[in-house]
Structure 1
Amino acid sequence: MRFMTMNKLAILILLFLGISNLKAQTNALSNSPYSLFGVGIPNTFSTGKTNALGGAGIALKSDNSLNSLNPASLGAMPVKHFYFDIGYKAQLFSLSEGAGSSNQSNSTFSNVALAFPVTQQSAVSLVLAPYSNVGYDITGIEQSIEGSTSFYTSDVTGNGSLNELDLNYGYSFFNKLRLGITGTYLFGKTEQTEYNTILDYFLDIQRENRYTGFRVGAGFQYDITDKISIGSNVKIPTSLEATQNSIVSQDYDDDITEETSVKNFELPLEMGFGTEFKFGESYAVYADYTRKLWSKTEQESSFNDYKDQDSFKTGLTFIPKPGGIYYWQNVEFRVGANYDTGYLNIAGNDVSSYSVNVGLGLPVSRSGSKLNLMYSYGKNGETSNGLIQENIHSLSINFSLDGIWFMKPKYN
């Protein structure tokens, strides 16, 4: 039996690593001009059902599916189970600037994760997901030629992603208090290519920035009653080491290649607090608040300022009749919303965002596996003050597998 158990564990880890390798090599474009700043647009997608709850779930236990928002949730994972979660997202961006507008789209894997118990009170999980995405295309930038009244034009494109691999551990005390810790390895690259036309002369500059770093976090959850729970999480500040490879291509000369060290990118202290309220057997309400202290990183940029970021998230779930004999009685209906003050201030204007979400949790097996579907509509930025407004339609699909193992076969 132990040999079969280890085989199952080895197969799951190999599957995870195989998908992780594929995922790490994928550039998840954001199609957002705001991804020009820093290391790109932060990822807002997560595992399981939290996408449809407006991103809320700090107090949500991992008692029937994996919740990657708080490592403490793993303390509620049932023994003899394992979780596997893989997600896919697609987005349509409608960009508006003054009287002009354009439409762009992208799609990519959003996460891959697995979790399994260690003891009756604890469990571990591995989660791979983008931390941020880069994707922009800016054309027709006019710049003056130094010492002349003439101008030259530039086109700039960028793509890439920064990924995070989380190792989480959660432990339960007295069946009410759960504590957890997280170790995160961040890695990835962003690429920017600048095409310059100076009179009849062409000059192309390609820059590739690579980032690596480690981060530590922690969390707790506490059940005040059977119907009310609270939770909190924290991620400490860290510095991402950056190196840059650049290639300068010219019409009448050889390419110039150079590797240089660039200024590290600072990630801020993050703190979150969440609540869960259950009403009867059918309803549950979640509410989260998160603050990220970007201003404390004191990063300098000639284009923008970093400011402290506040996020407010809430969600509602409804199951018509849990354990009912009919399929639709066990379908979970979800709605959610969030508002984010943003972390960028451009020319004195904050770039805030909001979104509304709806979703379904469709059972696919008696063990608890579900197909999680989510649609959201959101807005980022505004057209006033020279900014760009993004209207974003998003669709996510997460297959959340809940399997049972460590059990002796009934018949040999």
Structure 2
Amino acid sequence: MKKIIFFACVFTCCFLAANAQSEGLTGSPYSMYGLGIINQANVGKYNALGHGGIAMPGNSGINNLNPASYASIFDKSFFFDVGFRAEYNHYSNKINDEDKWSFNFSNLAFAFSLSKKSGIGVTLTPYTNVGYTLLGVTSNIEGSDQEFESTINGSGGLNDVKINYSYLLSDKIRIGVNASYLFGSIKENEFFYIGSSYFDMNETSFYHGVRLGLGFQYDILKNFSVGGTVQLPVSLDGSMDRTVTKTLDGTSVTVEDEEGENISDFKLPTELGVGIYFTPFKGFSVNADYKRNFWSSTSQTDNIGQYEDQDIFSMGVEYMKNARSLEYIDRVQFRGGFTSDNGYLSINHKKVGGYAITAGLGLPLNTNTNSMLNISYSYGQKGQLSNILIKENYHFITLNISLEDLWFIKRKYD
């Protein structure tokens, strides 16, 4: 009965999370470019570890960063993880400052062992987030010197449903494969008026596609592992619904109403990642990752810039005094990390990069399993006043309920 209730909750959360993308999940002005801001929130504890962990095993929680980690899930273990996020954005230019809060789901995931040598898992996460408002955008009326001001709003984004499978080749080598279905919509509304006339334009762009990936993990020593991942390139099919209406003397007229109009596909690049993970002494671990995304090979451009190769570096540390201690504080996991990103969009030959500092706690929920309440905080910055005239500082908080259950174990007592 408990498992029926559990799966009912899972599917309910899936429905809510999948539909959450109809609202803006970010307040970043950079979400107006491309498909929006690529989601940085991940599953479980990895948000506090500099958003890295390619070489880390998945025996204590779901690691969605490398499909090879799923073979390290202990036999008969089942993991479930649901996450929530809050983001505060403060952005400024040389004229004024603005602030915005946003709240929503960050992930839904479950994973379990298929056998002593294999594991599988499914995750649902926002892949990109869009949420921006532009006030007082000035344009010229065609054929005259008269100007008008528009208000533009954008919302939505893409979701990523990913299936991961992993197999243990030997006691030291794990390999994995994943398949992602990316889907979602991005809405943009533009409203303006000239004299007593009002114009309202609504565009909804739809994208979908399937992407494949591979990964491996190799335990070189008992306390030292390496890992690698590759995400293959894909072109996301696009279409658009567009409606334009105008109101003259109180009468509304539909100027344009199109559905399913073909638009250019959006290309996602090849992504390569490598990482290391080691425990220099008991209770203390270090992870470091490097990723390169080959955006220049997509030959795409944006209205204000072009796409260039992106480099991402992340590093994290974790400390727990004693996992078997009777003292609660000894079983608490303390985490910290750092990540830097040189960006993939170049404007006036200057890339929009950023960095983030992360910290967090893993609070045990059960003495017999790896169930945790994972809390993380990130402080980061994007852009500079000197390049595109917008600097964004953000505070990012995630809360993940990470649960473990042991299945098919005969209990001695009911």
Secondary structure at 1:25's aligned position in 2?
A: helix
Residue 58 (structure 1) aligned with residue 54 (structure 2) = yes
1:403 aligned residue (379, 388, 405)? 405
Q: Deviations over 1:125-157 (max 9, x none)?
A: 010000000011001111112221111111111
Residue 200 (structure 1) aligned with residue 196 (structure 2) = yes
Letter in structure 1 aligned against 2:18: A
Task: Measure the CA separation in 2 of the matches of 1:266 and 1:222.
Answer: 31
Letter in structure 1 aligned against 2:339: N
Distance 1:222 1:386, change over 3 A: closer
Task: Measure the CA separation in 2 of the matches of 1:106 and 1:209.
Answer: 22
The correspondence of residues 285-364 of structure 1 with structure 2, limited to 5 A, is 285-364=286-365
Query: Which has the larger displacement, 345-354 or 209-218?
Result: 345-354
Query: Displacement, 1:13?
Result: 4.3
Task: Measure the CA separation in 1 of the matches of 2:197 and 2:347.
Answer: 32
Corresponding residue number in structure 1 for 2:28: 32
Secondary structure at 1:251's aligned position in 2?
A: strand
Please say if residues 363 and 373 of structure 2, whose CA atoms lie closer than 8 Å, have aligned partners that are also in contact.
yes
Residue 19 (structure 1) aligned with residue 13 (structure 2) = yes
Please say if residues 31 and 37 of structure 2, whose CA atoms lie closer than 8 Å, have aligned partners that are also in contact.
yes
Aligned-residue identity in percent: 38
Corresponding residue number in structure 1 for 2:284: 283
Corresponding residue number in structure 1 for 2:228: 232
Secondary structure at 2:20's aligned position in 1?
A: coil
Q: Which blocks of at least 5 consecutive residues in structure 2 are unaligned? A: none
Secondary structure at 2:127's aligned position in 1?
A: strand
Query: Displacement, 1:11?
Result: 5.2
Distance 1:12 1:271, change over 3 A: farther
Secondary structure at 1:61's aligned position in 2?
A: coil
Secondary structure at 2:340's aligned position in 1?
A: strand
The correspondence of residues 374-393 of structure 1 with structure 2, limited to 5 A, is 374-393=376-395
Secondary structure at 1:49's aligned position in 2?
A: helix
Letter in structure 1 aligned against 2:17: K
Task: Measure the CA separation in 2 of the matches of 1:385 and 1:374.
Answer: 30
Query: Displacement, 1:20?
Result: 1.0
Query: Which has the larger displacement, 343-352 or 10-19?
Result: 10-19
Query: Displacement, 1:12?
Result: 4.6
Query: Which has the larger displacement, 29-38 or 15-24?
Result: 15-24
Residue 140 (structure 1) aligned with residue 141 (structure 2) = no
Letter in structure 2 aligned against 1:307: E
TM, length-normalised to structure 1:
0.96
Corresponding residue number in structure 2 for 1:254: 253
Please say if residues 58 and 70 of structure 1, whose CA atoms lie closer than 8 Å, have aligned partners that are also in contact.
yes
Secondary structure at 2:330's aligned position in 1?
A: helix
Task: Measure the CA separation in 1 of the matches of 2:33 and 2:210.
Answer: 21
Letter in structure 1 aligned against 2:11: L
Query: Displacement, 1:199?
Result: 3.7
Task: Measure the CA separation in 2 of the matches of 1:254 and 1:200.
Answer: 14
Task: Measure the CA separation in 2 of the matches of 1:66 and 1:387.
Answer: 39
Letter in structure 2 aligned against 1:389: K
Task: Measure the CA separation in 1 of the matches of 2:275 and 2:125.
Answer: 22
1:88 aligned residue (64, 80, 84)? 84
Corresponding residue number in structure 1 for 2:187: 191
Task: Measure the CA separation in 2 of the matches of 1:34 and 1:310.
Answer: 18
Query: Displacement, 1:16?
Result: 2.4
Secondary structure at 1:16's aligned position in 2?
A: helix
Secondary structure at 1:26's aligned position in 2?
A: helix
The correspondence of residues 258-269 of structure 1 with structure 2, limited to 5 A, is 258-259=258-259, 260-269=261-270
Query: Displacement, 1:348?
Result: 2.6
2:102 aligned residue (103, 106, 111)? 106
Query: Displacement, 1:326?
Result: 0.8
Task: Measure the CA separation in 2 of the matches of 1:303 and 1:129.
Answer: 28
Q: Which blocks of at least 5 consecutive residues in structure 1 are unaligned? A: none
TM, length-normalised to structure 2:
0.95
